[in-house]
Structure 1
Amino acid sequence: MKFNGRIIAIGVVGLFNVIRYFYYHQYLGLPFEANFFVLTAFFLAIAWWCGKQFDRVKYFSEKDPLTDTYNRRTIESSFQKIANVCKRENKKLGIILLDLNNFKQINDTYGHQKGDELLKYIATLLIKTVKKDDIVSRWGGDEFIILVPKCTERFNSEFIRQLHQTLNNTLSDSFPSVGASIGFSIYPDEGQGFQELIQKADEAMYQNKSHISAAVAKSDTTNF
């Protein structure tokens, strides 16, 4: 949770008290009394509390409470802002859609608490893996979206491959039965609107899932 609301509130109240001091004790020449500090501390405490409530409301309006990633509404509005910047600078924007394979099996076998632990684990891993300017969001259920501003030509060959490898290698240690499927699309090459690009990424992701399922089936047949 950020401190913007508290910082602004403290700044406004602090400025008000500076003006109050100069007006009463410098301009009007009234005698200075110790209760000035008492009132100032009281005003600052109220400002801190009010600013904290603002920060809490803003945080919960933008974030998914379980995973601490951005929520669906925020990622949609962020896309439009970033897309406008990329268009103005003639850059590309990567949209990654990630889905966990066999997630339902975790919930059914170990309970929803274990499933929630897995989602938080994935969210933390994604935030640590992506770059500072990238935006991670929980799209819904076991799906996540990552916005990659100003992606390069190596987006597919390097970024996606490394992300996929990192996820599956890490999951194989902690959650062996779970894997990750990834699909992506690129603005403006594959579409202008967010929903259109999500649809493209979703189609690519399910192709990835089909390849994984076919590989698993082939492996099982070979072992048999």
Structure 2
Amino acid sequence: MKYFGRVSLAVIAFFSWTLLIFYYYYVHGNVDEIYVLVAIIYILVGWWLGKQYDKAKFYSEKDPLTQAYNRRYILEKLPKLFSTVDRRKNESISVLVIDVDRFKEINDTFGHQKGDVVLRSIAATLRRNIRRGDYVIRWGGDEFLIVTPNTSKDNILPLINRIERELSETSKQLSLTISISIGVANYPQDSTDFNELIKIADNNMYLEKEKKKKSCSI
């Protein structure tokens, strides 16, 4: 959780009360000790109010379980992201739809607490492997998105490989198999509508899932 609200309000409280004390000293020639005590309380109240702001902002943007951004946040952010794409330079934004394989089976076999651990581990893995300026979103249930500006399908493959390698190590640590299926769509090449991009990436993800099922059955 960021400290913007806490630091900002504490600093405002400090400087406003400092100015008040200087004014009191200028007018009366001294400052009672009680004013110093009140100043400390004033700053602490500012810190507390800032903390409430930070918490409210955090829960308006993040999924509490996984710490990934939530659906509401990315839907509000997308118009700005799309507006930064310069088509003359062939710039694009890649949207990855990520679905946890056999997640219901994990919940049924190991319990929902273990399922929560799996979701948190996957979200943490996704965050560790993206670039600064990319976004990890919990889209719903066991489905995540990665929105990555200024990239293309060609350089998405190394990202997918890194994620899958790390999840393989996580599987060993948790003593269960964690695998994901990923589908990709690009703005504006595949579509200029976000809902359509999600649909395309989702279809590609299910094609990937079907490939895995067929390879396992052979």
Quick one: percent identity of the two aligned structures? 34
Q: Which residue of 2 aligns with 1:211?
A: 211
Distance 1:39 1:47 in 2: 12
Indicate conservation of the 8 Å contact 1:102/1:177, yes or no: no
| Paired residues, number | 216
Q: Which residue of 2 aligns with 1:79?
A: 78
Deviation at 1:37, TM superposition (A): 1.1
- SS across alignment from 1:86: coil
* Cα distance, 1:5–1:82 mapped onto 2, change above 3 Å: same
- SS across alignment from 2:186: strand
Indicate conservation of the 8 Å contact 1:164/1:182, yes or no: no
Indicate conservation of the 8 Å contact 1:186/1:197, yes or no: yes
Indicate conservation of the 8 Å contact 2:129/2:162, yes or no: no
Q: Which residue of 2 aligns with 1:136?
A: 136
Indicate conservation of the 8 Å contact 1:93/1:147, yes or no: yes
Structure 2 gaps of 5+ residues are: none
Distance 1:178 1:39 in 2: 55
Deviations 1:151-182 (A, max 9, x none): 15632443334434443x33553454442100
Deviations 1:12-40 (A, max 9, x none): 111211221232222x2442222221111
After TM superposition, the score normalised by the length of structure 1 is 0.88
Distance 1:171 1:104 in 2: 19
Indicate conservation of the 8 Å contact 1:95/1:198, yes or no: yes
Q: Which residue of 1 aligns with 2:185?
A: 185
Distance 1:49 1:89 in 2: 48
After TM superposition, the score normalised by the length of structure 2 is 0.90
Alignment of 1:97-116 (within 5 A): 97-116=97-116
Q: Which residue of 2 aligns with 1:222?
A: none
- SS across alignment from 2:95: strand
